Amino acid sequence: MAFNSADIGAFKNVWVFCEQRQGKMMPTTFELISEGRKLADELGVELCGILLGDNVDAIAPELGNYGADKVYVYNSPLLKDYTTDAYTKVISEAVEEIKPEILLFGASNIGRDLAPRCAARLHTGLCADCTHLDIDMPIYKNFLKEASTLPAERIEKLGTVKINGADHDVSRDIKMTRPAFGGHLMASIFCPRFRPAMATVRPGVMKKRECKKNVEILHPAFNLTEADIKTEVVEVVKAAKKLVDLIGADFIVSVGRGISKDVEGGIKLAEELAEVLGGVVGSSRACVDAGWITADHQVGQTGKTVHPKVYIALGISGAIQHKAGMQDSECIIAVNKNDTAPIFEVADYGIVGDLFKVVPELIESIKAA
């Protein structure tokens, strides 16, 4: 079913797809609920979670701790394991029935698979991999002025414009921001003609904020049979090695290509420094591409977005794609032998020098303190 502009006034409330695995809510869900609360408050509407699984009622109230007003729960043994067919069907039909105006997914493996399917099924737009979400009328008006055939005075004068003959309140459009052209510019994307406006949001970008609500748990009727599911989950294989938890870490010591003259020694120094601080080791993409460290350590646009208390960058130049993942850290310390390295532009403390000399001294002084 396609919703065109004539229908968009019927859509209300902000929805968040609440990703759970084996009955445990994924951290991104709480980040999105907090962000969804902000948007819902700006629009003066309700924030609702949509939670799919098998017997997942027990975890639904957790969403009330971060600001959800309602949770729509869909329980079925057919939803126990994630399958694209089943989840797409249930979510798309729920959207057609209840009509949220905004629908957010985490840009996790599941979110990246599910959101485009739902968007295609619902004939609406999807902005993938967002780093910022806003309700921003002035920018939207400028956008309309430039991109639309509507007369400028109409856009200026009215909070409502006509799109395909229907009234549309421009102040209610979500501005979705995401990196474009390899991270060299940030693009603002609007979805004025279709509903819901859909976005996937990078894990770790939005901050989780507590906000207690008396959450209402609802169980709408739905239709799902085995015939709707064309795939079968045969086995779930856990990663053999425990992946590094960059997103939850307070201290991150990241290495860059600056360790190239002694890769093993450089990583060992970073591990020692991380250990004395009680932190973990991150890296730039250069080290991952060179095969020096595994991809779960990568910070940046195509890696993880982190905001630890302290981020230490060792031999990292500070390319825009790296900064995109760490510049919101509370305190940034950079060690680089080139005093013009761009990493110093975002660093709170900079040490110009050879990391192989500086880091052992840092470790010693922390141990002595």
Which residues contribute to the site for ligand FAD (CB under 6 A)?
182-183, 256-258, 284-286, 298, 300-303, 315-317, 319, 321-322, 325, 335-338, 341, 354-356
180 contact partners, CB below 8 Å, separation of at least 6: 186, 187
The annotation places the binding site for FAD at 257, 284-285, 298-302, 315-322, 336
Closest distance to ligand FAD from the beta carbon of 70 (Å): 36
What torsion do the CA atoms of 107, 111, 113, 115 make, to the nearest 10 degrees? -100
Tell me which residue of 280, 352, 345, 270 sits closest to 309, measured CA to CA.
280
Q: What is the DSSP letter of 170?
A: G
Closest distance to ligand FAD from the beta carbon of 296 (Å): 12
The residue at minimum Cβ distance from ligand FAD is 300
Residue 76 corresponds to which tokens in the numbers above? 């079925």
CA distance 292 to 262: 11
Closest distance to ligand FAD from the beta carbon of 334 (Å): 9
Closer to ligand FAD by CB, 213 or 285: give it. 285
Closer to ligand FAD by CB, 67 or 183: give it. 183
Closest distance to ligand FAD from the beta carbon of 184 (Å): 9
Closer to ligand FAD by CB, 146 or 339: give it. 339
Specify whether the CB–CB gap between 256 and 284 falls below 8 A. Answer: yes
Closest distance to ligand FAD from the beta carbon of 344 (Å): 10
Specify whether the CB–CB gap between 168 and 2 falls below 8 A. Answer: no
The packing angle between helices 263-277 and 355-368, to 10°, is: 20
Closer to ligand FAD by CB, 80 or 337: give it. 337
Q: How many C-beta neighbours within 10 Å does residue 196 have?
A: 27
Closer to ligand FAD by CB, 228 or 296: give it. 296
